[in-house]
Structure 1
Amino acid sequence: MPRSKKGAKRVKVESTDVERAAVLVLKNSWSIRQAALEFKVSKSTLARHLKIHKASENEEFQYNARCDINRVFSPEEEEKLANYLKQASQIHYGLTRKQFRILALDFAQVNKKKIPESWITNGLAGKNWYYEFMNRHKDALSLRKPQATSLSRSTSFNRHNVSTFDESASLWASWFIFLI
């Protein structure tokens, strides 16, 4: 029986530790095993990143996380998607999760991005992509089932009505304090 992906927990690798270990191997002629033990990095992880570095022929070692390799959108493009969700919410047009996943697929196709086959066959972005996107933007976004807002409610929420409410609320508060 295959193991579930949710059950497999891996230790996160600090990029600074990998970079320091790689510098020791490249410049100070340490063995990969020694450097990995010193900075508590997996030997195979360090060896993989050193192999990638040697193939790139760059002088400076640069750590690139493996999860960034298969990412569909760049951080700037993800920010555009997040801003679109915020703007849609501000004009009272909330998107459901499914609508957002369809939007992500359309955005990827318009920008000619390399996308997984499952996105095309299902007609929307994958659930894992959606949850990872929301994880990366959890401080700014939360998608919920949109609720209908009546036209009269959205149009009556203007500067004049809000200021009138504030004035009456302050009068009521002063009257209430007077009674106490």
Structure 2
Amino acid sequence: GKWSTRDMLEAVRKVRDHELSIRQAADRYNVPKSTLERRITNKNKIVKEDEKYLGRFRQVFSEEQELEIMEYILEMEKRFFGITYTELRKLAFDFASVNNIVNNFNKETKMASKKWIYGFLRRHTNISLRKPEATSYARATGFNKKAVRSFQES
């Protein structure tokens, strides 16, 4: 299921401060009871604000950082510059490097892994990557009768 890191941290804090039971905290903060129990008994390393562990893998970017990447992609799409899988993999690598984010991306190819991109796209279903095609001037400027008439008159 989906749960936020902030909710997990808050649930752990409430249980450790004896304000809520594990079951109450799991219900209130919508986090898995078994995961919360592990966090409390320190069987798992306590999750930091910007980390969420899924098995042995750690999500590279925080929710806010992924939102920033997503907004950039959507802005590029608005400007008729679609982004390819390879470009997104390079973008993720550069974003991690510039922001000193610990990652296991390929240092030789300077790209994020295919597993990362599939996870990113699974988390952000409103993004669709494609091979961008050159946008014609007519399409970009709104090729319509008014535009044609104004072009012919000039």
Same fold (TM over 0.5): yes
| Band the TM-score falls in, shorter-chain normalisation | 0.5 to 0.7
How far off is 1:71 after superposition?
1.6
TM-score (norm 2): 0.61
Kindly indicate whether the alpha-carbon contact (under 8 Å) linking 2:39 and 2:45 is maintained by their aligned counterparts in 1.
no
CA deviations 1:16-49 (Å, max 9, x no partner) are: 9xx7xxx6xx8999xxxxxxxxxx966xx56532
2:38 aligned residue (40, 48, 53): 48
Q: Is the 8 A contact 1:13 1:41 kept in 2?
A: no
| Change in 2 beyond 3 A, CA 1:141/1:54 | closer
**1:94 corresponding residue in structure 2:** 82
Among the aligned pairs, what percent are the same residue?
35
Could you say what secondary structure the match of 1:115 adopts?
Answer: coil
Structure 1: gaps of 5 or more residues: 1-11, 30-39, 57-63, 162-180
Aligned residues: 124
Q: Which has the higher helix share?
A: 1
Q: Report deviation, 1:147.
A: 2.0
Partner of 2:58: 70
* TM-score normalised by the chain length of structure 1: 0.53
> Measured at CA, do residues 48 and 151 of structure 1 come closer, stay the same or move farther in structure 2, by a change above 3 Å?
same
Shift of the 13–112 alpha-carbon distance from structure 1 to 2, 3 Å rule, reads closer
Residue 143 of structure 1: how far off its partner (Å): 0.7
Mapped contact 1:134–1:141 kept (Cα < 8 A): yes
Match of 1:115 in 2: 103
Q: CA deviation at 1:14?
A: 8.2
Flag the structure with larger Rg: 1
8 Å contact kept, 2:52–2:58: no
8 Å CA contact retained: 1:72, 1:114: yes
Q: Aligned to 2:106, what secondary structure does the other structure show?
A: helix
- Worse-superposed segment, 141-150 or 47-56: 47-56
Q: What is the RMSD computed on CA atoms of the aligned residues?
A: 3.8
**4+ runs of 1 displaced by more than 4 Å?**
12-16, 26-29, 53-56
Question: One-letter code of the match for 2:112?
Answer: A
Post-superposition offset of 1:128: 0.8
Aligned-partner Cα distance in 1 for 2:97–2:39: 31
Q: 1:28 to 1:99 in 2, by over 3 A?
A: closer
CA gap 1:152/1:126 in 2 versus in 1, 3 angstroms: same
Unaligned runs of 5+ residues in structure 2 are 22-31, 148-154
Cα distance per residue 1:121-170 (max 9 Å; x no partner): 331001111011111110x2111121221123212347x55xxxxxxxxx
